[in-house]
Structures are given as structure tokens and as C-alpha cells.
Amino acid sequence: MSEEITYKPGKQPHPKETRRIFRNIDREGYNPSIECFMADGGYETLKKAIKMAPADIINEVKKSGLRGRGGAGFPTGVKWTFIPRGNTKPVYLVCNCDESEPGTFKDRFVVHQDPHQLIEGMIIACYAVQAHYAVIYMREEFPEGAKIVKQALKEAEEHNFLGKDILGTGYDLKIILHRGAGAYICGEETGLINSIEGVRPYPRIKPPFFPAAIGLWGCPTIVNNVESLCQVRQVMMRGSEAYAAEGAQRSPGTRIIGVSGDVKRPGYYEIISGSLTYGELLYDICGGPRVGRKFKAIIPGGASAKVMRCDEVLKGRNADGSVREMSVFDIPLDLDSIAQHGSMSGSGGVIVMDDTRSMPKMLNNLNRFFAWESCGQCSPCREGNPWMLKLSTRIVNGEAAPEDVDLLKSVADNICGRTVCAFGEACSWPTQAFTTKFREEFLALTKPINALKPHSSEAAEARKFLTRED
């Protein structure tokens, strides 16, 4: 293929983008076939990596500073070293392609348009940890992506990049596609593992046992997401030093940001980590708010990240240690900076809300999602999420009393930190943040008189009984 890259009309990268993982996404003349991928240098990195010692690949990934792009941001190479020393059990690798976080939509572009990039990264990762069996776990809502990945796996095997004696090295590897039922909880790595095993996807208690020690079928299992495995390929292609030198010191490399909501140009953008601020992303790349509107709030890392007010004054530190005032637009786009101000970059899904949006309605929409998606294993989450939905619905319908706002936050507070997995925190954080940062909007929809009114048919009947009303 030609070295000169052109993109489909309307899909050209912004000058401030640096496309590496998304180099071939919406590219003119490009398709998901292995021929197209190999003509563009595909699998050459695998040919180089598979001649290295597995430990050397792990060290390269560790030295690169690569951190997972699924949300937690854990160092990828370090995770690979958690496989117990002297292990005699099979090692498995699982690619998390569940991508069910509202506001996140980056992984599907890879599986739809450039699946061999993912497969090459997976093979390198599998060889590094000496896994001979791997699984791509894909949510049921990606039917077209499943067809494309199955075909890509078949092509890779036909070219001896998968299967027996890969490239004459004696290394064997089988990768299968496993389709989940479309449950948000399967984005949690141990819930995902249970789903593969064919049981209810309840997250497992950890510690003491993380998947790298006891995972799929009781064996050491490494779980990485789609973008992380694609980044492994970039590390081995460019070298750990070059990779580590680019971007934020503690989170180098590029990041794929998915922007949705009230901006002129929503979509996907790949940038060098820490090279831009949220302001540059939303105003320069995304074109700013809609005509006549202004930004009101952003959720910086998918639905579970805490909302940030666009007009709040934050405290930042200069290079000399002095304190300065700043806004959310001044925060760099890396894995850590937003956490210093009470939210998280998470999965890279930025949800933007302008001044036409009702914050109680936004929260109610999120609560509806979380109430539906709770797996039900833990009572705080199982009972708390429907109660948060009931209370936020009561508020948006104008049926709540002022004290219901505090009650709503109290329910969230009593979920957080009391569940087996992080879903409890994920579902409680939006309520905690929305009711705190936009308290005045919630209170404006309440009336003191509502405290005296029943909120259900059962409560109405009970009231009749207690008061002897006809």
C-alpha cells in the first residue's frame, strides 16, 4: 500500500491528533483483510518479537511504562509478572472486548476495521506470558465485529501466525472468540472469566486471588483490553525507550478518547497522553459547544466517572510547587491528572453536557442503566441501585421532598466500598457527584409538601389503613 495515507471524507484526523492505534480506521482503500494488513507492515513486529526470549518482551513492556487502557490504568508489564513462579498449570490470556461502559466506543472500531492489529498484539502478549490458549471475549451487541474477528483469526492461522509451530518456532497458540450475553458486569475481569466458564458472571472476591494467580478454570490468567493489546504491538514496534519518551511521564503513549454529547464534532480522537488539556480537546478538536450554548459539565471517563462542573474553580500546582487556580479545561488528558481533582479518566469516554441539560435527568438516566445492570450478588448494590433510581425518578417527576436529595446521596454512600467488585463504586459515584455538585438543581425540583404524600400504591393503601381514610 502507498505510504501516503488518506481518510474518508469527514474522517480526517485533526492536526493535534497522533494516530497510531487508529492509523487505519476510516482509511481510504483499507479493509480488515490480512492482505491489507500485511501490505502495511502487519505481522512484521510479531516476526521480530517471537525470536526474543519471553522474559525480554515482558521487560520491554515494563520499561515502556505502558498502562492498561481499560479504565484502571494498571501497568501492563507488571500485571504479566503476577503469574506465580514455578507455575505448572496452563496460562491463559483473555482479551476484554466487552466495552459496555456508556460513553465508550473505541474498541469496536478496531475489531470492525483493523482486527489483525489486535490479533498481532495478542500473539505477542501470549508468547510473552507463554499462554497457548487465548480468548477474545466480545459482547453480543457486536455481531458484525464477531464475523470480522472470526475471519481474521482464520486468515492468521492460514498464514501460520496462529496454530501449531508458529513461524517455525515451535510455539503453539489457539485464539478463540467467545461471545457474551451483553452484561455490563462482564467488563469486570473475574465476572468475565466466570462468563467464559459458563456460570453466572458474579465477580470473584479478591484479594487473595487475582486472575494472574487463579483465573480461568483455576489457572493463571492475564486479562487485557483491546486498546492495551494494540499498544503492546506499538511498544514492540517502536521500542520501549521511544514509547516511554512520548507523552506523560507516568502514562506514556497515545490515548483514544471518545467524545459524545453536546459538542460540534463528537467522535473518536487519538492523542499523545498529556499533550492536550480538556479545553483543547473540547474547544479546538471538537469545535466547542453548539451555537448559542456553553459547556455546563463533563463526565471525563465513561458513565461511572464523577461529573465535573465546567465553572468550578480547582486548585492546581505549578512546577515550582506554588498553588494556582484552574478549571476543568486546564486539566491535562492523561491517566492521572483528572484523579487529582476527584474524578477519573477511566475508559476515555468523555460525555459533554451543555447548559440545556437537566442534571437530575442526566443522573436519572444513569441510575436506570446501573439499576438494570447490577448482577445482584451484593445486597448494597442489588437493593441500593433500584432505590437510587426510585429516588432520582421521584425528583425529576417533581414528587420529592427536599430531604429526598440527602436520602439519595445517603443510599449511594452506603453502597460505595461495601461490594465484592468495583461496580458498587461505579454506580454510586455518579449519584454522589451529581447531588453534591448540582445540589441546587435537585432541590429546585422538590417541594416540602411532598414529604406528606405517599409515593406508591402500597404506601397509599397503608396510609388509608393507618389514618382510617375512606
Say if residues 180 and 139 touch (Cβ distance below 8 Å): yes
Strand order in the sheet with 295-299: 267-272, 254-261, 349-354, 295-299, 308-309
Would the CA dihedral through 101, 353, 287, 11 be positive or negative? positive
CATH of domain 359-452: 1.20.1440.230
Beta strand 92-97 with 133-138 is parallel
Share of the chain above pLDDT 90, in %: 86
Express each pLDDT in 75-89 by its tens digit: 999 999 999 999 999
CATH of domain 253-354: 3.10.20.600
**Does residue 469 carry a pLDDT above 80?**
no
Say if residues 135 and 189 touch (Cβ distance below 8 Å): no
Contacts of 83 (CB under 8 A, 6+ apart): 91, 129, 212, 213, 220, 222
**Does residue 395 carry a pLDDT above 50?**
yes
What are the start-end ranges of the H helices in 221-339? 226-238, 240-244, 278-279
Least confident of 127-136, 228-237, 419-428: 419-428
Residue boundaries of the structural domains of the chain: 34-245, 253-354, 359-452
Least confident of 245-259, 313-327, 344-358: 313-327
Complete DSSP assignment for 22-88: TTTTTBTT--SSHHHHHHTTTTHHHHHHTTS-HHHHHHHHHHHT-B-SSSS--BHHHHHTTSPTT--
Please tell me the distance from the alpha carbon of residue 412 to that of residue 151, in angstroms, as a whole number.
45
- What pLDDT score does 470 carry? 55
Please tell me the distance from the alpha carbon of residue 455 to that of residue 55, in angstroms, as a whole number.
62
The shares of helix, strand and coil residues in the chain, as percent rounded to the nearest 5, are 45, 15, 40
- What pLDDT score does 467 carry? 65
Quickly state the pLDDT bin for 4 (edges 50, 70, 90).
confident
Closest CA to 10 of 200, 221, 234, 287: 287
- What pLDDT score does 410 carry? 97
**Does residue 346 carry a pLDDT above 90?**
no
Quickly state the pLDDT bin for 324 (edges 50, 70, 90).
confident
Average pLDDT over residues 150-172: 98
- What pLDDT score does 182 carry? 85
What is the average pLDDT value for the chain, to the nearest integer? 93
Strand partners, 92: 133, 221
**Does residue 3 carry a pLDDT above 70?**
no
Least confident of 138-142, 152-156, 223-227, 463-467: 463-467
Contacts of 120 (CB under 8 A, 6+ apart): 42, 43, 45, 46, 161, 233
Average pLDDT over residues 324-334: 93
Residue with cell 465485529: 145
- What pLDDT score does 2 carry? 40
Share of the chain above pLDDT 70, in %: 97
Quickly state the pLDDT bin for 316 (edges 50, 70, 90).
confident
Please tell me the distance from the alpha carbon of residue 55 to that of residue 129, in angstroms, as a whole number.
8
Domain 34-245, CATH class in plain words: alpha beta
Q: What cell was used for 421?
A: 467488585
Least confident of 108-112, 389-393, 424-428: 424-428
Quickly state the pLDDT bin for 1 (edges 50, 70, 90).
very low
- What pLDDT score does 267 carry? 96
Q: How many beta carbons lie within 10 A of that of residue 292, not counting itself?
A: 8
Average pLDDT over residues 135-142: 95
Least confident of 66-80, 392-406, 451-465: 451-465
